[in-house]
Structure 1
Amino acid sequence: MSWYNFFETKPKICHAFGRGTNAAISPQEEELFNKSYEAFEKKEFLDAYEYFFNSLQNFTDEIPNNNVILEKNEKELRFELYQGSAKVVGVVTDTTFYAEVVIIKKADANVALKRYILERNYQLTYANYFSDEQYIKLKLFHDNFTMSPQKIFFPIREIALNADFDKEHIKSEFQDIVLENIEHLQPLASEELKIKFDFLHQAIDEVELKVATLPSNDNAGMQSFLYLNLFFELDYLLLPKYAISQKINKLIQEYFGDEENTIESKNEELKHYVSLLKVMNFDTFSSNFYHAKYTFHLTEKTSFEELSIFISESLMKIRWYKNNRYHQIIPTIYKYIAFYMLYNYGLNPIIKNLLHLLVEIQNPVFFKKLGYTALRNERENTFAKRVIISRIEESILPHQKRYKMLKPFGNELNFTSANEFNNSYYLQIKNLNFEEI
Structure 2
Amino acid sequence: MLSQPSAAVVRATLPAVTDALGEITERFYAGLFAARPDLLRDLFNRGNQASGTQRRALAGAFAAFAAHLVEHPDRRPAALLGRIAHKHASLGVAPEQYELVRHHLFAAIADVLGDAVTPAVAAAWDEVYRLMADALTAAERGLYEQGGGAGRRDWEVAERVTETSDVVSFLLRPADGGPVTPYRAGQYVSVQVELPDGARQLRQYSLSGAPDAALRRITVKRVRGGDGTPGGEVSEHLHARVQAGDVLRLSEPYGDVVLDADADTPVLLASAGIGVTPVVAMLAELAGTGHRAPVTVLHGDRSPADHALRAEHEAYAAGLPRADVHFFYGRDAGPGARTGRAGLDGVALHPGTRAYLCGPLPFMRELRDGLIARGVAAADVRYEVFGPDLWLAGEDAPPAPASHPGAERSGVAVAAG
TM-score above 0.5, yes or no: no
Q: Which has the higher helix share?
A: 1
Structure with the higher fraction of residues in strand conformation: 2
- Which structure's relative contact order is higher, taking Cα pairs within 8 Å and 6+ residues apart? 2
Pick the structure with greater CA Rg. 1
Q: TM-score, normalised by structure 2?
A: 0.31
TM-score of the aligned structures, taking structure 1 as reference length: 0.30
